[in-house]
A and B are shown apart, each in its own frame.
Chain A
């Protein structure tokens, strides 16, 4: 039981794909629904029809079931094709943040992913108000879109 704020190391993973930069970026973003492992990595699991990443800052990241129900995963924070994206990850309750960088290496592309901000989940009440406001905004946007 620590009273001090702990820093939790970000998750950092990387992969190099045998594809040029623009193709790697396109498959990762626009093609997200074609490769995302929804059976294990989603809310509705096998009922998920697709996963969508909207191509702009403020855009939604969400899953949609075959019945048409949409669940938000997060919101785009950075949209810099074909080099960098970042999005808020709301699945952790208090949003954490995921950044993905694409770097050309000849005909290949290195993809670096960092998921950070886990210590925010333990933060005190001072963040709560701003978070709740953010959450209301997200729900309002969802209601407006639905």
Chain B
């Protein structure tokens, strides 16, 4: 999950970002997502799995096919992830800035 895992990692990969991007217009099957991407369909499925594990993408069955969509709850989790992310970054900044001050 993004909330307790690696949101930076889930979307850091450019191809995975491209896969995620293609879901912004609404739910799509994997073949549709893979069509205009320069990677194989199994590779797209793998990226979808990572996004699903990160909570950013949800999947539902419609007859024999699976549709993938952006999970709004996942976006809220991503936001929470960055809450901690910036907290840690600012703490590191504060430590560095004040340690530089003491050295002078």
Majority SS at the chain B contact face: helix
User: When chains A and B are docked, how far (Å) is the Cα of A124 from the Cα of B89?
Assistant: 32
Give chain A residues whose Cβ lies under 8 Å from the Cβ of B12: 43, 71, 91
Give chain B residues whose Cβ lies under 8 Å from the Cβ of A28: 93, 97
How many A residues touch the partner, as a band?
A: 35 or more
Complex contact A128–B86 (CB within 8 A): no
Complex contact B75–A93 (CB within 8 A): no
User: When chains A and B are docked, how far (Å) is the Cα of A6 from the Cα of B86?
Assistant: 23
**Contact surface of A with B, Cβ cutoff 8 Å:** 1-2, 6, 8-9, 11, 13-15, 17-19, 23-24, 27-28, 31, 34-37, 40-43, 71, 90-94, 111, 113, 115, 118-119, 121-125, 127-128, 131
**Contact surface of B with A, Cβ cutoff 8 Å:** 8-9, 11-12, 17, 20-21, 24-26, 70, 72, 75-76, 78-79, 82-83, 85-98, 100-101
